[in-house]
Amino acid sequence: MNTVWALAKVVVLEMVRRKDFYVLFILSVLLTATAGSVNLFNDRSIVRYLKEICLLLIWVSGLVIAITCTARQIPAEREHRTIFPLLAKPVTRAQFLLGKFLGCWLATGLALALFYLFFGLVSASREHSWPLVNYLQAGWLHWMMLGIVIAFTLLGSIVFAAPSSNGTICFVCSAGMLLLGRHLNKVALSLAEPLQSLLYGLYFALPHLELFDVRDLIIHNWQLIPWGIIVLATLYAAAYAALFLFAAWLVFRRRPLN
Amino acid sequence: MPPALPIALALAITLAVGGRLLLWEQVSVKKSGSVFALLLGESRRAFADQVFLKADAYFHQGYYPSVFDLALPDGKTHMVKETEGGHHNHSHAQAERGYRDWLEAFGSHFYPAEHRHLERFGDAREILPWLRLAAELDPHRVDTYIVAAYWLRERLNKVNDAEAFLREGLRANPGSYEILFELGRLYAENNRDIPRARAVLELAVERWLRQEAGKPNPDALAYAHILAQLAALEESVGNFDRAVTHFTRLQRVSPSPEAIQRRIDELRAKLNRPN
């Protein structure tokens, strides 16, 4: 575990040193501030559109940070040839993968914490309330979802040659799942057999990232999600992340490094 | 080739293209009157429709059918029905049908899955940004101005803003009897400015006759609304003969002429009563 933790710490430090997060954060702040400065019928207490814009920016930024940070981990180690001394030490390939996953996931979590803090400030500035537990649930589910994306991207970085192609594929898959995942069953039911069963099977097999998207509940001030449901969603995310990590290990353990 | 040459060339091209673009932008914006029209062209109308639906989704606190389970059988959003005086008899397919599978049932915990409206006073303000944006995207969409004005004056007590927005709509749609009717209602019900309300409503009647009377399927409901408003206005200030005239015209298009006849009889009785 110490080895995994040490690897993860390096990834987090690397992320802190890179500019990606800061650029995305400043951009989100500027865009939210611009949207907030619009005069709408002389009413300064209109807030939900601003929450929607801010959360959209957070979701886009979260995906960008998670995918770009993860996609370059293994290719960069290969390119700089640092992977050889690393794996020559008593570090197994499974530990290497786990360390990379944990590092990217923690780094993304830190970024999310800052983003959600900003969101809370924006929201409180107009609504004058702090539904902290709701934000905590939203942030936690968001982080769990990014865990699946990170594990998937890590698998992609072993399968695909270039980080750019891996990044693009992961973006397309994640965005597709977020936008259409909830409706795959409805589309399946409108199809003829055997396509119907095939698509319905895919609907159950694919990881439903949109389950973790509770933005509408936050924007419209809905009540808390029951904690039992949060636990189940966490287990769901953990299962898919573990599955992708296991697949990554299966591919990586016999893959030549050069 | 000296390295400064391609740089100078690139700079010259950039300046020339940039200058042309700026000129083109100024001319185009002046012609179309909107940056959205310049950027999005005709597609902005489709965006406006989506933004208008977004306002309706906000009215339902995020609970809204997707394009996959779409449910607007009569083509009207629930928000519009509210402005027409009722939001009672509509159903939401999801709630009635139940869930198709366990995953859908589990997923329903993560998005608004219960039919609710913006009920608290002041909450209605949350739909306004989307209506404002819909108007920017498509200034010729009359519904946007009417719905926004209704919520502004009825639910937010912002009569001046409602009037300003309706006037903006009227500038973009000078012949709109719907906007004139809404403006007339505002003057009559909120401002109690009877002469102004009368003038605007009579203009609405004139516009309706000019645009709709010759059509095979005219918008009779709008005409009935305008006449009813005019008749009520005249009755409220004691001009019973004028009210009778408007009710008589209303009787021709009303689905319940008997009820209108009773009103006419009542007014005639008042007219014949010695003071």
Q: Same domain, yes or no, for B197 and B239?
A: yes
Lowest mean pLDDT among A38-42, A154-158, B38-42: B38-42
Whether the per-residue pLDDT at B90 is higher than 90: the answer is no
Residue with tokens 């959600």: A116
Residues of B in contact with A183 (CB under 8 A): 66, 68
- Best mutation target among B100, B102, B109, B110 (most A Cβ atoms within 10 Å) is B110
- Amino acid letter at B23? L
Looking at chain B, which residue has its C-alpha nearest residue A183? B68
Confidence of residue A238 (pLDDT cuts 50, 70, 90): very high
List Cα–Cα distances, B118 to A54, A237, B48, B63, B98, in angstroms: 22, 33, 22, 11, 24
The pLDDT assigned to B85 comes to 58
Q: What is the CB-side half-sphere exposure of residue A26 using CA atoms within 13 A?
A: 4
Classify residue B169: in a domain, yes or no. no
Which comes out higher in pLDDT, residue B11 or B139? B139
Residues of B in contact with A211 (CB under 8 A): 106-107, 110
Looking at chain B, which residue has its C-alpha nearest residue A42? B161
Sign of CA dihedral A56, A227, A245, A3: positive
Across the interface, whether the CB atoms of B106 and A43 are under 8 A apart is answered no
Q: Same domain, yes or no, for B253 and B199?
A: yes
Q: Same domain, yes or no, for B49 and B152?
A: yes
Q: Same domain, yes or no, for B271 and B180?
A: yes
- The predicted-structure confidence for A115-137, as pLDDT tens digits, reads as follows 999 999 999 988 888 899 999 99
Domains contained in chain B, number: 3
- The predicted-structure confidence for A194-229, as pLDDT tens digits, reads as follows 888 999 999 999 999 999 999 999 998 888 999 999
Across the interface, whether the CB atoms of B112 and A208 are under 8 A apart is answered no
* Containing structural domain, residue B249: 175-275
- The predicted-structure confidence for A33-63, as pLDDT tens digits, reads as follows 999 888 888 888 888 999 999 999 999 999 9
Q: Same domain, yes or no, for B229 and B192?
A: yes
Residue with tokens 């009672």: B88
- Between CA A237 and CA A148 the distance in angstroms is 6
Q: What is the mean pLDDT of chain B?
A: 80
Lowest mean pLDDT among A207-211, A230-234, B124-128: B124-128
- CATH code, B209: 1.25.40.10
Looking at chain A, which residue has its C-alpha nearest residue B132? A40
Residues of A in contact with B128 (CB under 8 A): 40-41, 43, 46
The pLDDT assigned to B66 comes to 76
User: Among residues B39, B68, B126, which one has the least CA distance to residue A41?
Assistant: B126
Which comes out higher in pLDDT, residue B138 or A236? A236
